[in-house]
Amino acid sequence: MASRVQSLDLANTSKVYHAPATIVQGNNSRLIHVSGQVGTAKDGTVPADYESQIHLALLHLRKILIAAGATVRDIAKLTLYIVNYDPAQRKHTRPIQRFLKGHRPAITLVPVTQLAAPGWLFEVDAVIACPEVPTVSPSAPTINLQASNSEVFDVAIIGAGLAGLTAAHEVLRAGLSCVVLEARDRVGGKTFSQPLLSTDGGREGGIAEMGAAWINDVNQTKMIALAQRYNLELIEQNTDGNCVFQGFDGKASTFPYGELPQSLSRANQMTLVRPSHLARRRPHPRHVRSRLPSPGHVHPQDTALDTMTFEAYLKSRDASPTALATARVWTRAMLGVEPADMSALFFLNYCRSGGGLLQMRSDRKGGGQHLRIRQGTQAFSECMAADLPAGVLRLKKPVARVIQDGPSYVDVIDGDGARYRVRKVITTVPSPALSQIHFTPRLHPVKEAWSQSAGYGFYTKAIVVFKEPFWIAKGFCGLAQSFVGPASVIRDTSSPPDNKHALTCFMSGPPGQAWASLPEPERNQQLLNQLGVLYSDMEAVDRNFVEVLKYDWTDDRWAGYGCPCASLSPGVLDTLGSGALREPTGNLHFAGTETAGDWKGYMEGAVRSGERAAKEVIGGDFEHCSAAFVRKGM
């Protein structure tokens, strides 16, 4: 009789005398035992630091989960083995919490003096219990598949954000029919412009950007063209006056926009800044940027860079505590993520796609934060939606299932059970939200691994509205940066023509998360206190304060519970391939700002990704990528 214990293998493991995992088949259930997983890169090397190894080991565990058809929620037990464990620095807890996404297995931690090979610092094994792999997953929504329900289109587009609406226009322009299925009751995705309270209590005039806020007119050609096409008014970001820097001690100091804060320059000039790169615009990006490979040198397949966290990368270059704190401020404001939580390659690649850190962090011409839209960035989508023929856009139609039965068509089924039979599907769903759609057949394991590995940090913008821009009068441009928080970065997002005055505070990373967990009055007061310190005028803050607006992206299901862009932990890019998310499978095409080559995570990237996916669909080159995919494996 066949053994009930089956070895489970990944690519490259079948030659080893033991298996990465075994599956014990039970009645309607499976028990999976996982061998100790360590933080090795695909070439067998290990990065030098704990966090990087922990992320890689967890990625291996994730791949085993996917290969077994299990999920993180099926983990019954984890055993962690940590070399030279330091109780004062429990470096494993955050990566594991991020990995578990709220699931709470049993865990045992075993400090050890060494592991099976020199240099290994972390190992995790697991016991997993999951249902029998079903022919049709019991988690598949029960839907009424009446053929009479079926509408027929050339293309179905999932999501009516910038990527989806752009794709829809392109597809229609090519003479194809299409339907855009949007889960929300609004268009715009992660652009979300809320009207501000007017002085008389109404809300007309002036908006607060809860999501994407800025474009530029130099290299964000798609966005500036859209703004022109729809006659949207631009507001230039204010960079006149002093910036504020709040150091580890909580004390604020000022410096002119485009120069270095004194304390930083003194502390770091010698160690961090290459003379040839000294400040031309804002100071902080250059600190570290001068030590980063220039964008042209970052190769998405660079194993060494992808197997370490961005923090480990900085430390490997002898970054000082101040430089690390500066980098932390950036990654918090840009992605809500700590440098220790993401791959160095991912972040460098992300920066490259935005033209380099300097450009991305700049508020001046060509920078990432140069121009705002008076009507709000959501107006881009609203205008594009209004331009669509009737019947194309369907709001409140979350896609529940995507079924590829054969090579020539796809059935898309929405939450009400309505079926759309199409030749091609473009999904613009953020990768962390892909798991909310039930795909038949299952998404390729490589895409599942990407989707599950991609995660948001904590990222909330708090828009603090004031009666008057008191900071301007005091000679500030509004830009502030803090090592201590709760806000990491602050920018003036006033709309002078609407007589609306606001500071947008980036409440990101652990300080933002701690702040968000406070009760509201205390939360607002803590933020106002910080503003009082930064702009040296608590009285003016209190006197002018109107309201605080915030939107919890971490509760937003359709964004995949986060904003602005999912980041990747070490090992994902290197082992799955940088194009793994973008690559079409069968008649399924992938768009969304994450998939963009340029301005990834920005509105510009979303639009470009929509154009690219539409081109794939219109070209009709349906199957060309599958072979490359299979070859890649995991």
Residue corresponding to tokens 């998360």: 513
Q: Does 421 bind a copy of itself (CB under 8 A)?
A: no
Residue corresponding to tokens 């519970």: 561
Q: Does 89 bind a copy of itself (CB under 8 A)?
A: no
Give one word for 205, left, alpha or beta, with left for phi > 0 and alpha for psi -120 to 50: left
Give the interface size with a copy of itself as a residue count (CB under 8 A).
63
Going residue by residue from 517 to 536, which x/- string records binding to a copy of itself, judged by CB under 8 A? Answer: --------------------
Q: Work out how close the CB of 16 gets to a copy of itself at its nearest, in angstroms, rounded to a whole number.
A: 8
Please, which residues have CB within 8 angstroms of residue 603's CB and are 6 or more apart in sequence?
A: 162, 191, 212, 215, 220, 223, 377, 380, 593
Question: How many CB atoms are located within 10 Å of the residue 633 CB?
Answer: 13
Of the candidates 544, 514, 513, which has an alpha carbon nearest to the alpha carbon of residue 531? Answer: 544
Beta strands in 115-224 (DSSP E): 122-131, 151-158, 178-181, 193-195, 207-209
Of the candidates 296, 190, 199, which has an alpha carbon nearest to the alpha carbon of residue 558? Answer: 190
Instruction: Calculate the alpha carbon distances from 342 to 111, 141, 181, 245, 383 in Å.
Output: 25, 33, 32, 25, 36
Q: Work out how close the CB of 517 gets to a copy of itself at its nearest, in angstroms, rounded to a whole number.
A: 13
| Distance (Å, whole) CA 417 – CA 144 | 5
Q: Residue 383: what residue type?
A: C
Q: Does 17 bind a copy of itself (CB under 8 A)?
A: yes
The answer to whether 561 touches 432, Cβ cutoff 8 Å, is: yes
φ and ψ of 482, to 5 deg: -135, 135
Identified binder of a copy of itself from the candidate list 36, 355, 367, 486, rule CB under 8 A:
36
Q: Of 109-117, 214-222, 437-445, 563-571, which part binds a copy of itself (CB under 8 A)?
A: 109-117
Identified binder of a copy of itself from the candidate list 11, 12, 103, 499, rule CB under 8 A:
103
* Exposure class string for 27-44: b at 16+ Cβ within 10 A, else e: eeebbbbbbbbbbbbeee
Smaller CB distance to a copy of itself: residue 27 or 276? 27
Identified binder of a copy of itself from the candidate list 54, 96, 215, 443, rule CB under 8 A:
96
Q: Does 44 bind a copy of itself (CB under 8 A)?
A: no
Q: Does 466 bind a copy of itself (CB under 8 A)?
A: no
Smaller CB distance to a copy of itself: residue 19 or 449? 19
Identified binder of a copy of itself from the candidate list 16, 133, 225, 270, rule CB under 8 A:
16
Q: Does 258 bind a copy of itself (CB under 8 A)?
A: no
Q: Work out how close the CB of 449 gets to a copy of itself at its nearest, in angstroms, rounded to a whole number.
A: 20
Q: Work out how close the CB of 111 gets to a copy of itself at its nearest, in angstroms, rounded to a whole number.
A: 5
| Distance (Å, whole) CA 536 – CA 615 | 53
Q: Work out how close the CB of 59 gets to a copy of itself at its nearest, in angstroms, rounded to a whole number.
A: 18
Smaller CB distance to a copy of itself: residue 29 or 199? 29
Sign of CA dihedral 332, 335, 340, 343: negative
Q: Work out how close the CB of 588 gets to a copy of itself at its nearest, in angstroms, rounded to a whole number.
A: 24
Smaller CB distance to a copy of itself: residue 117 or 386? 117
Question: C-alpha dihedral over 140, 141, 142, 146, to 10 degrees?
Answer: -100
* Exposure class string for 525-545: b at 16+ Cβ within 10 A, else e: ebbbebbbbbbebeebbeebb
Q: Of 89-97, 307-315, 373-381, 468-476, which part binds a copy of itself (CB under 8 A)?
A: 89-97
Smaller CB distance to a copy of itself: residue 86 or 522? 86
Smaller CB distance to a copy of itself: residue 120 or 551? 120
Q: Does 262 bind a copy of itself (CB under 8 A)?
A: no
Smaller CB distance to a copy of itself: residue 111 or 441? 111
Q: Of 26-34, 50-58, 274-282, 338-346, which part binds a copy of itself (CB under 8 A)?
A: 26-34
Q: Of 99-107, 204-212, 243-251, 522-530, which part binds a copy of itself (CB under 8 A)?
A: 99-107
Q: What SS3 state is found at 375?
A: coil
Q: Of 74-82, 210-218, 260-268, 341-349, which part binds a copy of itself (CB under 8 A)?
A: 74-82
Identified binder of a copy of itself from the candidate list 44, 89, 116, 135, rule CB under 8 A:
116
Q: Does 53 bind a copy of itself (CB under 8 A)?
A: no
Q: Does 45 bind a copy of itself (CB under 8 A)?
A: no
Q: Of 4-12, 192-200, 407-415, 436-444, which part binds a copy of itself (CB under 8 A)?
A: 4-12
Q: Work out how close the CB of 190 gets to a copy of itself at its nearest, in angstroms, rounded to a whole number.
A: 28
Residue corresponding to tokens 């010698």: 270
Q: Residue 471: what residue type?
A: W
Q: Does 67 bind a copy of itself (CB under 8 A)?
A: no
| Distance (Å, whole) CA 150 – CA 617 | 21
Query: Which tokens hold the place of 481?
Result: 């940066």
Q: Does 435 bind a copy of itself (CB under 8 A)?
A: no
Question: C-alpha dihedral over 558, 562, 565, 571, to 10 degrees?
Answer: -110
Of the candidates 557, 620, 627, 632, which has an alpha carbon nearest to the alpha carbon of residue 589? Answer: 620
φ and ψ of 17, to 5 deg: -75, -10
Q: Does 206 bind a copy of itself (CB under 8 A)?
A: no
The DSSP string of 469-491 is -HHHHTTEEEEEEESS-S-SEEE
Identified binder of a copy of itself from the candidate list 50, 81, 192, 459, rule CB under 8 A:
81
Q: Does 626 bind a copy of itself (CB under 8 A)?
A: no
The DSSP string of 416-460 is T--EEEEEEEEE---GGGGGGSEEESPPPHHHHHHHHH-B---EE
Q: Does 112 bind a copy of itself (CB under 8 A)?
A: yes
Query: Which tokens hold the place of 163?
Result: 């990527």
Smaller CB distance to a copy of itself: residue 68 or 634? 68
Q: Work out how close the CB of 519 gets to a copy of itself at its nearest, in angstroms, rounded to a whole number.
A: 19
Going residue by residue from 135 to 174, which x/- string records binding to a copy of itself, judged by CB under 8 A? Answer: --xxx-----------------------------------
C-alpha atoms less than 13 angstroms from C-alpha of 370 in its C-beta half-sphere: 17
Q: Work out how close the CB of 136 gets to a copy of itself at its nearest, in angstroms, rounded to a whole number.
A: 12
Q: Work out how close the CB of 213 gets to a copy of itself at its nearest, in angstroms, rounded to a whole number.
A: 34
Q: Of 25-33, 171-179, 298-306, 320-328, which part binds a copy of itself (CB under 8 A)?
A: 25-33
Q: Which residues sit at the interface with a copy of itself, rule CB under 8 A?
A: 1, 3-5, 7, 16-22, 24, 26-29, 31, 33-36, 71, 73-79, 81, 85, 87, 90, 93, 96-97, 100, 103-118, 123, 125, 127, 129-131, 137-139
